Amino acid sequence: MPEIACADDGVQNACKMFYNELKPLPHDKLSVNTGLLSSLSNGKKYRGCEVVFNSNEQLMTGSGPPSFESSEGSILYRAGCRIDEKYRADGAGSGSYGIVKDAVLCLIHWDHNSWLNEKGEIEQSELINMMVQCMSLEAKDRKKPDPATFYPPLQFLDVDNLFLF
């Protein structure tokens, strides 16, 4: 895994977790960017990291992008992660949502676009993309950290490259 150098350990740990979960999936590209980045949600600059995943239907044999939604009962939910509904958007074959844990916000953007052709039939792109952008929340938006929780490995655990946080 590339070295992730972020100013905030919580942000770094979050990006490592998403990278490790996406790494075992078949992909054309999996990369990490750090530093001063532009948010896909509002275009503003933020200091943090992002994980970029690009694949296609042939590689993923018909499955779409993984879901990291922290719905009640999920591993992420039990670890203290919560969906922030103000970042949720859904469209034809694309969507985004935000996950908050302690003082870290991760925005997940995915697309597997679809459209109606001239005959009114649904067509879908072969490309499958996901970007996870993690950043520290502003002080006014932070919750008191719970030291008993951590970012756990999810269902796509890559034991060989696991980073213990």
pLDDT digits (tens, 9 = 90+) for 22-62: 898 889 999 999 999 988 878 889 899 999 999 888 887 76
Q: How far is 117 from 81, CA to CA, in rounded Å?
A: 39
Q: How far is 37 from 50, CA to CA, in rounded Å?
A: 8
Return the DSSP state at 2: -
Q: How far is 33 from 15, CA to CA, in rounded Å?
A: 10
Q: How many CB atoms lie within 10 A of CB 158?
A: 16
Burial of 39 (0-12, 13-18, 19+ CB in 10 A): middle
Burial of 36 (0-12, 13-18, 19+ CB in 10 A): exposed
User: Minimal CA–CA distance to 31: which of 23, 43, 40?
Assistant: 23
Question: Beta strands of the chain (E only): which ranges?
Answer: 29-38, 45-56, 82-91, 94-101, 104-111, 114-116, 122-124, 127-136
C-alpha distances in angstroms, 6 versus 15, 20, 38, 48?
A: 10, 17, 15, 6
Question: Which pTM was predicted?
Answer: 0.73
pLDDT score, position 64: 61
pLDDT score, position 8: 55
What's the pLDDT band for 145 if we cut at 50, 70, 90?
Answer: very low
Q: 43: left (phi > 0), else alpha (psi -120 to 50), else beta?
A: left
Mean pLDDT value across the chain: 76
Each residue of 57-77: pLDDT tens digit? 888 776 666 778 777 887 778
